[in-house]
Amino acid sequence: MGKIFDWIDRRFGVKEPHKKFLQRPAFGMPEKVNYSYCLGGMSFIYFLMLVCTGLLLSMYYVPSEKEAFKSVAAITNDVTLGWLIRGLHKWSANLFIIFIMLHTIRVFVSQAYRPPRELNWMAGVLGLVIAMASGFTGYLLPWDQKAYWATEVGTSMFGTVPFIGDYLMRFVRGGLDIDGATLIRFYSMHVLFLPASMAIILWAHFHMVKRQGIAKSL
Amino acid sequence: MGKDKREKKFYPDYFSEIIVSILIAVEILIILALIYYPSIGRQIDFTKPFQPRPEWYFLWLYQLVRYFPGKSAFIGTVMIPAAFVLLLLMIPYIDKGEKGRIKAVAAGSVILLAFVILTILSLL
């Protein structure tokens, strides 16, 4: 195992720079660190779970007006362990939001948003917004009664914006009404745009933690 | 750790704690997914619109919209949520100067309370 890793590392060169980070005195961690400092890491695990289960679901899900409902039914009833993968995806999504909120509260209470960490706080807020947008777009994908009408209400909110409202709503729906065009639009957002944005935000988030260390709580 | 005065390092001291919390996180997830597995909804029926319920983290927004009927809907759907996000983004800049922390706590609690109270109201 070590030999294989070293062979890769001679070409990749990740061992030395990471050793420095990992073995630095706890990132200059303050004394008063407790388990509430793990909430961000727990959120990240849910993100990884979402990616893994989402990749599996995408093998069976069909984002078309006629097939979407049937394919979700097939995932739940016919595909081996499909119900479990779908359940893990759904619960990871909910827990992801809960733990981001708890993590935000922890950071707020320990005032870890103070300079030089303002930008990292903002990256975190953006991450929460992206997570909620992912929840919104993912809600439509089962293409059932509940999903349809919730999205009907949700997207009609865009229509209330003065002047550009009508255009905005048509842009979000991909047409006047919610139909196959909306479904594939939401699918694309849910599996491509939003996860890619989230990955970039998370990279920045962790990079700043590595560079700036953990804030001393007061 | 007791009398061990050795300085804690990220690896392995904190890393092991993170691993424990990650195990707990995955446990919670698996238990929930096994007990409350998702069911299949009803097929779309365009003739029967019904009162939809969004995910729990959007309930506050649905409740907020109810207070702004007609032309003022824009305030509930866009202006207040956008103000919340902006306020949250600006927290590091609100917390400036002598009374900065008090202002930041006020802003933070307004957002949190609004979220909690509106969510509860929508469930009633």
User: DSSP states of B12-24 as a string?
Assistant: IIIHHHHHHHHHH
Q: Supply the CATH number for residue A80's domain.
A: 1.20.810.10
Residue B81 distance to chain A (closest CA, Å): 11
Question: Residue A131: is its pLDDT beyond 90?
Answer: yes
Task: Say whether both B60 and B119 belong to one domain.
Answer: yes
**Residue B51 domain-assigned?**
no
Please give the residue range of the domain that contains residue A96. Answer: 34-212
Helices B59-66 and B100-123, packing angle to 10 deg: 80
**Residue B47 domain-assigned?**
no
For residue A74, the SS3 value is: helix
Task: Say whether both B73 and B112 belong to one domain.
Answer: yes
**Residue A185 domain-assigned?**
yes
User: DSSP states of A1-54 as a string?
Assistant: -HHHHHHHHHHH--HHHHHHHHHSGGGG--S---GGGGHHHHHHHHHHHHHHHH
A9-23, A70-84, A86-100, A136-150: lowest mean pLDDT where?
A9-23
pLDDT at A140: 95
Task: Say whether both B79 and B34 belong to one domain.
Answer: no
**Residue B10 domain-assigned?**
yes
pLDDT band at B67 (very low <50, low <70, confident <90, very high): very high
CB atoms A26 and B14 under 8 Å: yes
Question: Residue A13: is its pLDDT beyond 70?
Answer: yes
Tell me the chain B residues in contact with residue A148 when contact means C-beta distances shorter than 8 Å: 44, 52
Number of domains in chain B: 2
**Candidates A25, A69, A91; nearest CB to B43:** A69
Residue B12 distance to chain A (closest CA, Å): 8
Task: Say whether both B67 and B22 belong to one domain.
Answer: no
**Residue B46 domain-assigned?**
no
A22-26, B36-40, B60-64: lowest mean pLDDT where?
A22-26
Task: Say whether both B65 and B117 belong to one domain.
Answer: yes
Q: In whole angstroms, what is the distance from residue B91 CA to residue A118 CA? A: 8
Interface test with A, best of B1, B4, B15, B18 (most A CBs within 10 A): B18
pLDDT at B17: 84
pLDDT band at B3 (very low <50, low <70, confident <90, very high): very low
Question: Residue B103: is its pLDDT beyond 60?
Answer: yes
Residue B123 distance to chain A (closest CA, Å): 16
Number of domains in chain A: 1
- Interface check for A127 against chain B (CB to CB < 8 A): the answer is no
**Residue B74 domain-assigned?**
yes
Indicate the average pLDDT of chain A.
90
pLDDT at B13: 75
pLDDT band at A200 (very low <50, low <70, confident <90, very high): very high
**Residue A14 domain-assigned?**
no
**Residue A120 domain-assigned?**
yes
**Residue B71 domain-assigned?**
yes
- Give B120's contacts (C-beta < 8 A, 6+ positions apart): none
Task: Say whether both B118 and B80 belong to one domain.
Answer: yes
Tell me the chain B residues in contact with residue A158 when contact means C-beta distances shorter than 8 Å: 77
- Interface check for A91 against chain B (CB to CB < 8 A): the answer is yes
Please give the residue range of the domain that contains residue B23. Answer: 1-38
Question: Residue A188: is its pLDDT beyond 80?
Answer: yes
Closest CA to A23 of B16, B111, B8: B8
**Residue A1 domain-assigned?**
no
Question: Residue A90: is its pLDDT beyond 80?
Answer: yes
Other Cβ atoms less than 10 A from the Cβ of A53: the count is 21
Question: Residue A77: is its pLDDT beyond 70?
Answer: yes
Quote the pTM value.
0.91
Between chain A and chain B, the number of residue pairs with CB atoms below 8 A apart is 169
Other Cβ atoms less than 10 A from the Cβ of A85: the count is 22
**Candidates B9, B92, B112; nearest CB to A25:** B9
Task: Say whether both B66 and B110 belong to one domain.
Answer: yes
Burial status of residue A162 (CB atoms within 10 A of its CB: 0-12, 13-18, 19 or more): exposed
**Residue A51 domain-assigned?**
yes
Question: Residue A30: is its pLDDT beyond 50?
Answer: yes
**Residue B99 domain-assigned?**
yes
**Residue A118 domain-assigned?**
yes
pLDDT band at A217 (very low <50, low <70, confident <90, very high): low
pLDDT at B7: 64
**Residue A17 domain-assigned?**
no
- Interface check for A32 against chain B (CB to CB < 8 A): the answer is no
What average pLDDT does range A69-77 have in this prediction? Answer: 95
**Residue B45 domain-assigned?**
no
Residue A210 distance to chain B (closest CA, Å): 11
Tell me the chain B residues in contact with residue A105 when contact means C-beta distances shorter than 8 Å: 112
Q: In whole angstroms, what is the distance from residue B58 CA to residue A134 CA? A: 12
pLDDT at A137: 96
pLDDT at A71: 96
Interface test with A, best of B5, B29, B35, B109 (most A CBs within 10 A): B29
